[in-house]
Amino acid sequence: MNAFSPGRRPFVLLAALLLALPSAFAAAPVPVVPVPDPALQTLAAQVHASTLAAFAGRKLQADQLAVTLVDLRDPARPLRGSVRGDIPIYPASVIKLFYLAAVHRWLEDGKLADTPELRRAMKDMIVDSSNDATHYLIDLLTGTTSGPELPEAEIKTWFDRRNAVTRYFAGLGYTEVLAHKKPWGDGPYGRESQAIRLFDPKRNMLSTDATARLLAEIAAGRCITPARSAEMMALLARDPATKVADPDDQAKFSGPALPAGAKLWSKAGWTSQTRHDSIYVELADGRKFIAVVFTVGHAGEREIIRHAVRTAVAGLPGR
């Protein structure tokens, strides 16, 4: 039987189709899913227990703290340990990390035009954690807008479209990501509050494990493309030794807990009830790690996250 006999034609056609695929598709980065590791799991448990003990006087409870650690010394095989890492928690502005990745995916697929205004919004959303910039990007990502209440049929269609980012991450295997709400200052109105009344889920949700996975993909250059990962990293860069006066500047959530010479990339979140940080750190001794710490009910306690990060740094294996 030769290559062009009837029995071989399906295989020849399949091979031809594969060869015709765009090279960019063929070279798409392999997703990074951190692998559970006993040593990292032990360290995460130590971080969780130590932090609870340190803040027992402030009544910090086990169910108010979630921790995920990822060792990224080998970016091709990141190792993970976590406590309550799979629990969905209201993420505050940490959700903006997921909207950032979605914008880059939409850009890569040609679904969005790469304009100066889009770039300005991306920068403001991550660097300054602007809610207004995030609203604009969510409108572009989902083809929805805020406004007056809608008739029943229209609000159902609107809500389905608003879940585009959630569906995207579900398609990548993320199981604890709900990214379909705009972050508000005073609260939602019109069709935004109408959708909350009518449909579940009511809020954005993330787990620390899911957040750590996305941050690992970005840090390893495997989110969308290496070039787009680098663009995201540029926006996430912080100065851990910043002299900014604002005590709630994003760099200060974890920065004061890091040793001299550390490099920091992060996205923090803060509301009246939550205080979170998601960080990628490169230490002067060569260690590279991710720490995601979510706290609930202690939004004013700046030292909880810092204590957790210090404990993690002290326990991480050496180079």
SS3 206: strand
Helices (H), the chain: 9-20, 23-26, 38-54, 96-108, 116-127, 131-142, 152-162, 164-171, 191-198, 208-219, 226-236, 251-254, 303-315
Reported as a single tens digit per residue, the pLDDT across 201-235 is 999 999 999 999 999 999 999 999 999 999 999 99
Given a cut of 50, whether residue 3 has pLDDT beyond it is no
Instruction: Categorize the per-residue pLDDT at 300 as very low, low, confident or very high, splitting at 50, 70 and 90.
Output: very high
In 141-273 the beta strands, taken as DSSP E runs, fall at: 177-178, 205-206, 237-238, 263-270
pLDDT at 283: 98
Instruction: Categorize the per-residue pLDDT at 319 as very low, low, confident or very high, splitting at 50, 70 and 90.
Output: low
Domain with CATH 3.30.450 in the chain: 34-85+222-319
* Cα dist from 266 to 175, 185, 236, 255, whole Å: 22, 22, 5, 10
Average pLDDT for 269-289: 98
Given a cut of 80, whether residue 8 has pLDDT beyond it is no
Nearest to 205 by CA among 182, 164, 176, 171: 176
Count CB-CB contacts under 10 A for residue 124: 18
Length of the chain: 319
The end-to-end CA distance of the chain, in Å, is 56
Reported as a single tens digit per residue, the pLDDT across 9-45 is 443 433 343 334 343 343 556 777 999 999 999 999 9
Amino acid at 292: V
Given a cut of 60, whether residue 136 has pLDDT beyond it is yes
SS3 69: strand
The fraction of the chain above a pLDDT of 70, given in percent, is 91
- Angle at the Cα of 96 (from 314 to 46), degrees rounded to 5? 20
Look-up: residue for tokens 């035009």? 113
Average pLDDT for 230-252: 97
User: How far is residue 259's CA from residue 250's CA, in Å, rounded to a whole number?
Assistant: 17
Mean pLDDT of the chain: 92
SS3 84: coil
Contacts of 128 by beta carbon, 8 Å cutoff, 6+ apart: none
pLDDT at 22: 40
pLDDT at 51: 99
The values of phi and psi at residue 291, to 5°, are -130, 125
- The phi-psi region of residue 289 (left if phi > 0; otherwise alpha if psi is between -120 and 50; otherwise beta) is beta
Q: What is the dotted CATH code of the domain comprising 34-85+222-319?
A: 3.30.450
